[in-house]
Structures are given as C-alpha cells and as structure tokens.
C-alpha cells in the first residue's frame, strides 16, 4: 500500500508539473511577443505594474515565467526597481488563478481534454490552433495528475501516522508554513504545491486553517525562482528578487499572527473567507473553493497593503543588496519623427544619434579589453554586466536609427542626401560590430578562466599595446564622423594601418615563443583569438573612416 501511495503521488506530481510546463509554453506561444511588449511598455507606474504583472501571470499561468522575464527586463535596465515591485505584487495575484481553476474539481474532464489537446496539436492546420491544442493538453495533464493524487490520498485518512502528522500541523501552523515553503522550493512551482494542498484538503487530510498555513508557505517558497534567476544578474535585479522575497515573507508573517486573532473561535481572516464561500469550510464543506479563495484574497490584501509602501520596500532592499546601480537610457535622444518632413534636419538628428551609438560601442570595447587584465572575479563580473548593458543599448539604437534613416529615404530627398543616408546605414553596422567584438573578448576571457589558463607577462604587454592602438583608431574614426573631417579620417586610416602591422608582428612573436616552448599552446590559441578580435575592431574603424571619405560631402 505504501508503495502504491508513493508511486501515485510521485507520478501524479510528475504529470502535474509536466502539464504546467506544456500549458505554460503553449500559452506563451499564443501570446507571442506581445507578452514581452506589454511587460516592457505598460509599467510606467507601480500601479500599472500590478495590473500588467497580474495579467501576464494569469495569461501564462506561471508566476515563475513572469518573474524570470522581470529579472531579465530589470537586468537590461528597461524597468526600474519600483516598477518591478508593482509587477511582483501583480504576479502574486495572477498566480492564484491556477488554484481557482483547480478548485472547480473538473478532474473527470482530464482525459477528454488530453484527447482534444493531442488531436489539435497533431492535426490542426494552423500554428495558432496547434498552440491552443498544446495548452489544452497541458490543462488535461494537470487535472489528470491531480486525479491520480486524489485517488491515492483517500486511503491516507485511515492512516494513524498521517492523522497524527496533520494534528501536529493544526496545532503548529508555523510547521505547516515551513513545510509548504520547502516543498515549493524543491518542486519550483507554487501552482503545484497549491494544487496538492487543495487536493489534500478535499480528501479530508488538511483542515481549512492548516491548508491556508501551507499556502502561506507556498507563497514564500515560490520566491526561490526569482532568487535563482538573479544569481548572476546586476544589483537592481538582485534587489527586485529580494523585494519579491520580503513581500511574501512579511505577508505570510503577519497573516500567521492573524491566525491567532479569532472571531467565534475561528481565525479572523479565514472567518471572512468562509462567509463569502458557499458551505462551511471549517466543517469540510466546499473546502477546495475556500482554500483557493483564501489564496486569492490573501495576495490581493497583501498587494493593497504593500502598494503604498513600494517606495519604502525599494529603500529596504537597497540596504540589503548594496552596490552602485548604473542606469543607461535605452531610448533615442535626438531622433524626432516630426522632422522627417525636413530631411536635412532629420539627417542631422540621425548623425547625432549615430555618434551617441558610437560612444556606447567604444565604451563596450574598452570594457571588454579591461576584462582581459582583471583578475578579481567580482570585478570581472561587473565589467561583463556593463558590457551586456551597452550591448542592449547599441542593438536598440542601431535598429531605431536604421528605421529612422529608411523613413528619411522614403521622403523626397536629393541624390547627395541619398548618398549620405546610404553611408549612414553602413556606418551603424560597423559601429555595432565594434561593440559586438567586446562580447567575443568576454567569451575568450571566460574560456581562459574556466580552463585555468595563464598569459605570460609578454603576452599581456602585447595585448595592452595593440588595444591602445585599436582604441586610438576607433576614437579617431568616431571623431572624424562627429566633426565630418576628412583629415581626421586619414589619421584613423593611418592608425588602423599600425594596428595591422603590430598585430602581425605580435602573431609572429607568439609563434616564435611557441617554437621555443615558452608558451602553453592552449593559452596561445586564446591569445591569437584576442589579437584577431582586436584587429577586426580596427578593421571596422577603418570601414567607418573610408565611408566618410567615400561620401565626400565636405
């Protein structure tokens, strides 16, 4: 009997978790990129963040998906800490929809849903319908998993050991909270543990109060997802993860205290939940719905309490996670679509924005070079974070500038203006590639550290000298474009010629060191790749300088 119960719970939980994954993926595919756009655009205030967090989480049926996306947006600087707190508050509300659906007890429809989902997923002619089928299949697997667990939990009511365990829980709600938290941390899904809690309550193994205490623990345990997602993230993302944890821990804490404040012998909060739920949950009537309602209303109440305190919560987490926050504005600074009707002015705006992009790309390359000479892991990670932030900005600016220039071309422009805009499109590609090289260098630095490889002092000196020449060439190319100066372009071309000559010299030196047995061949491969990437950065600077000469509109 014990084996059957174990297999039933293990298999039923597996079906439930797999169903959640299948359903969430299907719903995300149906939503498409709109979900990310909503999360990124409609979070200007904390209140709008609550609405978006609740809506997106209800849509994809996973607060984990929402929090992981949130950490990504915070990491990229698209969302501030205060706005992220609003999304967290909303995500906690949105995730309660799963419990409400489970409480409808539609287990008997599990197999028809699985059949329908498979049929649509395999035979539907359109992608959207196949995604709908995937979501329906996920729902079916969720309910089938719950049905399996329900069937094996029933006999447990006759087990003296199990009855004693839940008597202990009812006398010590804190133990129930800890159990819920640990289980959720292990399975990485509050929806799963909430579902199991509702099934246990429906089977008569948990009373209303104990079930709610486990739900409080589930809310705490689910914050592990954000914490894990933020491990390698920046300071702001770590603060957002801690805001999620504090919000749920404090909420569970004061609600645990309220369990001891009673009306007519019942905890005050659960007394009011029982009033609005048909039946008497304290007597086991309609307890599944009461547990689902307690989950929903607790998170709504928690949101109402914390919404005015979002600023204070942000202040607290800045004290917990210390460090400087670098915020880079992603939006364009100079482009104005109203100026498209005056192409000459619009071209001038595009030029200013390209100069701005160029400086970000140069900073990105410089940070990549700095990472080569940094031996402290923490400092190196901070450099990598800055590189990634600038990469986001450079990619965004390149796309926005290209779109703006194409719209200029659609106006009535002169041949000279057309030649200029065509040159600008080539320029922004080369500038973006200069930034990309920093990521190549970053990957080489990571590989070097992972393989525990070392560069000789001579290799470091050569990389430093070549880096200086490359940055000089890039700076001259940017300066030539900014000033629209032909002579500076020639200086950039001259500097790039030095880069080529020095790179070849150092490559030859390295081969000689290898022949003399002075270098580790594995380190040598990475060293040559670094030289090659630096030389390519110089090539892109050369392309910029050449294009300025070629446009020849001085």
Sign of the dihedral defined by the CA atoms of residues 90, 91, 96, 97, in that order: positive
* CA dihedral of 506, 510, 512, 513, whole degrees rounded to 10: 130
The pLDDT of residue 336: 84
What's the pLDDT at 355? 92
Spatial contact of 368 and 387, defined as CB atoms under 8 Å apart: yes
Which stretches of the chain score pLDDT less than 70? 1-2, 5, 20, 24, 27-45, 59-65, 68-69, 71-73, 75-79, 105-108, 150, 152-170, 229, 232-234, 323-330, 552-554
> What is the DSSP code (8-state) at residue 308?
G
pLDDT value of position 140: 82
DSSP 8-state secondary structure symbol assigned to residue 126: S
Q: What is the pTM of this model?
A: 0.59
- Taking the C-alpha atoms of residue 7 and residue 13, their distance in angstroms, rounded to an integer, is 10
- The CATH superfamily of 337-551 is Phosphate transport system protein phou homolog 2; domain 2 (1.20.58.220)
Q: b/e map of 532-545 (b: 16 or more CB within 10 Å)?
A: ebbbbbbbbbbbbb
Surface-to-core class of residue 275, CB atoms within 10 Å of its CB (0-12 exposed, 13-18 middle, 19+ buried): exposed
Please state, in angstroms and as integers, the Cα–Cα distance from residue 540 to each residue in 302, 359, 396, 498, following that order: 54, 14, 19, 14
Strand partners for 267: 262
Spatial separation of the C-alpha atoms in residues 524 and 458, rounded to whole Å = 12
- CB-based contacts of 551, cutoff 8 Å, min separation 6: 419, 420, 423
What does the alpha-carbon distance between residue 315 and residue 309 come to, in Å, rounded to a whole number?
A: 10
Q: What are phi and psi of 266, to 5 degrees?
A: -120, 145
> Would you state the pLDDT for residue 106?
66
- Please give the pLDDT value at position 554: 44
The conformational region for residue 445 under phi > 0 = left, psi -120 to 50 = alpha, else beta, is alpha
Residue ranges covered by each domain of the chain: 8-320, 337-551
H/E stretch holding 157 reads: none
DSSP summary character for residue 291 = H
Q: How far apart are CA 110 and CA 107, in angstroms?
A: 5
Helices (H), 342-414: 343-372, 377-409
263: β partners: 266
pLDDT given for residue 522 in this prediction: 85
Tokens of 96: 């309660």
């Amino acid at each position: 009997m014990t084996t059957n119960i174990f297999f039933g719970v293990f298999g039923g939980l597996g079906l439930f978790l797999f169903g959640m994954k299948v359903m969430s993926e299907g719903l995300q595919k149906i939503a498409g990129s709109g979900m990310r756009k909503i999360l990124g655009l409609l979070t200007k205030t904390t209140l709008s963040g609550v609405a978006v967090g609740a809506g997106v989480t209800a849509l994809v049926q996973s607060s984990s998906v929402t929090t992981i996306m949130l950490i990504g947006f915070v990491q990229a600087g698209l969302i501030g800490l205060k706005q992220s707190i609003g999304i967290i508050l909303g995500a906690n509300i949105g995730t309660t929809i799963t419990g409400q659906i489970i409480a409808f007890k539609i287990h008997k429809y599990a197999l028809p849903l699985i059949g329908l989902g498979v049929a649509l997923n395999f035979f539907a002619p359109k992608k959207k319908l196949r995604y709908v089928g995937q979501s329906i299949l996920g729902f079916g697997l969720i309910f089938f998993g719950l049905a399996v667990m329900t069937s094996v939990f029933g006999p447990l009511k006759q087990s003296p050991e199990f009855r004693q365990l839940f008597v202990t829980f009812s006398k010590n709600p804190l133990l129930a909270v800890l159990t819920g938290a640990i289980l959720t941390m292990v399975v990485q899904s509050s929806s799963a543990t909430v579902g199991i809690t509702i099934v246990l309550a429906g089977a008569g193994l948990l009373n209303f109060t104990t079930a709610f205490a486990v739900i409080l623990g589930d809310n705490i345990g689910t914050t592990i997802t954000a914490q894990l997602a933020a491990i390698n993230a920046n300071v702001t993302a770590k603060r957002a993860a801690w805001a999620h944890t504090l919000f749920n821990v404090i909420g569970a804490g004061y609600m645990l205290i309220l369990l001891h404040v009673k009306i007519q012998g019942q905890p005050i909060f659960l007394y009011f939940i029982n009033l609005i739920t048909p039946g008497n949950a304290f007597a086991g009537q309609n307890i599944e719905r009461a547990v689902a309602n307690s989950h929903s209303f607790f998170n709504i109440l928690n949101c109402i309490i914390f919404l005015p305190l979002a600023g204070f919560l942000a202040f607290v987490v800045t004290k917990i996670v210390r460090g400087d926050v670098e915020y880079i504005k992603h939006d364009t600074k100079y482009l104005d679509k109203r100026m498209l009707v005056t192409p000459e002015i619009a071209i001038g705006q595009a030029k200013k924005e390209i100069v701005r992009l160029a400086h970000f790309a140069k900073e990105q390359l410089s940070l990549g070079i700095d990472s080569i000479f940094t031996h402290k892991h923490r400092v190196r990670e901070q450099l990598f974070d800055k590189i990634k932030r600038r990469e986001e900005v450079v990619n965004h600016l390149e796309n926005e500038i290209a779109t703006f220039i194409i719209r200029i071309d659609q106006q009535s422009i002169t041949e000279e203006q057309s030649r200029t805009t065509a040159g600008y499109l080539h320029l922004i590609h080369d500038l973006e590639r200069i930034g990309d090289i920093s990521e190549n260098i970053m990957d080489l630095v990571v590989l070097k550290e992972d393989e525990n490889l070392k560069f000789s002092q001579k290799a470091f000196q050569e990389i430093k000298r070549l880096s200086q020449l490359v940055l000089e060439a890039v700076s001259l190319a940017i300066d030539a474009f900014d000033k629209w100066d032909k002579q500076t372009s020639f200086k950039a071309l001259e500097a790039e010629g030095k880069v080529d000559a020095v790179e070849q010299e150092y490559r030859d030196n390295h081969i000689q060191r290898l022949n003399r047995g002075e270098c580790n061949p594995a380190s040598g491969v990475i060293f040559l790749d670094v030289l090659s990437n630096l030389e390519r950065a110089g090539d892109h600077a050369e392309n910029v300088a050449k294009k300025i000469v070629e446009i020849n509109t001085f």
